[in-house]
Amino acid sequence: MRLYSLSVLYKGDAKAVLLKAAYDVSSFSFFQRSSVQEFMTFTSQLIVERSSKGSRASVKEQEYLCHVYVRNDSLAGVVIADNEYPSRVAFTLLEKVLDEFSRQVDRIDWPVGSPDTIQYAGLDGHLSRYQNPREADPMTKVQAELDETKIILHNTMESLLERGEKLDDLVSKSEVLGIQSKAFYKTARKQNSCCAVM
């Protein structure tokens, strides 16, 4: 079971702003890594943009699960994991991270921040510690206060999109994805394995 990325974003009116992110792409082959990272950023932003404030959701895409928590104050967190990683722990992690972030970074910096300007260094440590869910979070057999029935489940990324919107278009328009990543995506699509890069 694995965590691949952990990001903090701000859900602006028009789009989601990436504030800080940590990645673990060690399981991907060397040449894929930068593209994978870009795709995870792209995905995280997209998910936050399509999720409403005060909601939690898990979006399934092939063997990945993206867990998102958008707070009422528009601060959002996304963790991208595999399908073995327990979602309960993922949401505990998100809660913890956003709580810590909001205490360390002034609210005024959120709407206009970027990974370079934001002063928050805890993400890498959290990501690495939570790789083993049982070490990071001594799991109680009793369910946490979190009501799992309120978590929205999406079976594909596509289900997040509006009618008529195509993932291909969003990919090609994206500012986050480099040329190589977009090319990878096209090839993967042709081979009928969407997001095989990820």
Q: Pick from 148, 144, 166: which is nearest to 156 by CA?
A: 166
Region near other proteins per CB under 8 A, out of 43-51, 91-99, 114-122, 136-144? 136-144
DSSP single-letter state for residue 32: G
Q: Which is nearer to other proteins, 46 or 65 (CB)?
A: 65
* Residue 186 in tokens: 């096209």
Q: How far is the CB of 100 from other proteins (least distance, A)?
A: 25
Q: How crowded is residue 186: how many other Cβ atoms within 10 Å of its Cβ?
A: 13
Region near other proteins per CB under 8 A, out of 3-11, 78-86, 159-167, 179-187? 78-86
Asked if 155 interacts with other proteins (CB under 8 A), we say no
In the chain, DSSP assigns E strands to: 3-11, 16-23, 55-61, 64-70, 75-82, 152-154
Q: How far is the CB of 86 from other proteins (least distance, A)?
A: 5
| Alpha-carbon span 9 to 155, nearest angstrom | 23
Asked if 63 interacts with other proteins (CB under 8 A), we say yes
- Number of residues located near other proteins, criterion CB under 8 A: 17
Q: How far is the CB of 39 from other proteins (least distance, A)?
A: 20
* Residue 42 in tokens: 């792209």
| Alpha-carbon span 135 to 55, nearest angstrom | 27
Asked if 14 interacts with other proteins (CB under 8 A), we say no
Q: Which residue has the tokens 């082959």?
A: 29
List the one residue from 99, 148, 168, 169 that touches other proteins (CB under 8 A).
Answer: 148
Asked if 26 interacts with other proteins (CB under 8 A), we say no
Region near other proteins per CB under 8 A, out of 51-59, 71-79, 97-105, 138-146? 138-146
Q: Pick from 51, 47, 102: which is nearest to 79 by CA?
A: 47
Asked if 121 interacts with other proteins (CB under 8 A), we say no
Q: Give the three-state DSSP class for 79.
A: strand
Asked if 190 interacts with other proteins (CB under 8 A), we say no
Asked if 119 interacts with other proteins (CB under 8 A), we say no
Quick one: 160 exposed, middle or buried, by C-beta within 10 A (0-12, 13-18, 19+)? buried
Q: Which residues bind other proteins (CB under 8 A)?
A: 1, 27, 29-30, 63, 83-84, 86, 132-134, 139, 141-143, 148-149
